[in-house]
Structure 1
C-alpha cells in the first residue's frame, strides 16, 4: 500500500507541474498571435485537452505497471486487453465520469481516488484559465 501511496503522490505532483507549465506556455502564445486571436484560442483549447490526455496517460501507465502485481490490487472485469482497460479506466476516473464496468480493488483504489480528485481539480483549473484568457481576449478586442 505504501508503494501505491508514494507513486500516487508523485503522480499528482508531476501532473500539477505538467499542468502549470502547459498553462503558462499556452498563455504566452497570446502575445505571439496578435490579430489572429481565433487561431490562438483554438490552439489553447487543443493544448489544454492534450495536457489532460498526457496526465491521464501517466495514470494509465502506472495502472499498467502495478496491475500485474497482485499485492497492489487490480482492476477487475477487464475485456481481456489490459492496456486498453487501463487506458479507458484512467480516462473514466480522471474525468470523474464514474465507472461500473471496471472496478479497482486493493491498493489501486487509493490511486483511483487520487486520480479522480486530481482530474477534478485540474479540469476546474483549466476551465478557470480559459475563462480568464477569454476575458482578456475580449478586453483586448474592445481596446482596438
Structure 2
C-alpha cells in the first residue's frame, strides 16, 4: 500500500510541476516578446491546452504502468491499448466520467487524485488567462 501512495504522490507532483513550468515559461516568453493582446491570449490558450494534454497522458501512462507492470488493478472495459487509457484519463481529468470504463483495485485511488488535479489545474489555467486578459483588456 505504501508503494501505491508513493507512486500516486509522484504522479500528482509531476502533473503539478509540469503545469507550473509551462505557465512560468509562458509568462517569461510573453514578457520578453511584445505581442499584441489577442496573440498573447491565443498563445496562452494553446500552451494551456498542450499542458493539459501532457498531464492527461501522464496519468494515462501511469494507469498503463499500474496495470501491466505493477499489478495494482486494472481498468474494466479496456482491452489494453494505450489509447483507451488515454480516453479514460481524459474523461477522468475533466471529471466528465462517462462510466463505460471502471477502475478496479488500487488504481481507483489514482482516478480520484486525477479528477482533483484536473479540477485544480483547469481552474489555475482559467485564473491565469483571466489575469492575462484583464491586464490588456482595453489596449487593443
TM-score normalised by L of structure 1 = 0.88
Find the counterpart in structure 2 of residue 99 from structure 1: 98
Q: Indicate the larger mover: 65-74 or 54-63.
A: 65-74
Residue deviations 1:51-101, cap 9 Å, x none?
0100111111111111125841110012x3431211101111111111310
Find the counterpart in structure 2 of residue 46 from structure 1: 46
Is 1:128 aligned with 2:120? no
Unmatched tracts of structure 1, length 5 or more: none
Question: Which structure 2 residues correspond to residues 110-121 of structure 1 after superposition, within 5 A?
Answer: 110-121=109-120
Unmatched tracts of structure 2, length 5 or more: none
Find the counterpart in structure 2 of residue 24 from structure 1: 24
Is the alpha carbon distance of 1:56 and 1:32 closer, same or farther for their aligned partners in structure 2, counting shifts above 3 Å? same
Find the counterpart in structure 2 of residue 6 from structure 1: 6
Aligned length: 140
Residue deviations 1:21-74, cap 9 Å, x none?
111111223334425222221111000000010011111111111112584111
Question: Which structure 2 residues correspond to residues 48-67 of structure 1 after superposition, within 5 A?
Answer: 48-67=48-67
How far apart, in 2, do the equivalents of 1:66 and 1:45 lie? 32
Please report how far the alpha carbon of residue 3 of structure 1 lies from its aligned counterpart in structure 2 after TM superposition: 2.1
How far apart, in 2, do the equivalents of 1:83 and 1:35 lie? 38
Quote the RMSD (CA, aligned, Å): 1.8
Find the counterpart in structure 2 of residue 73 from structure 1: 73
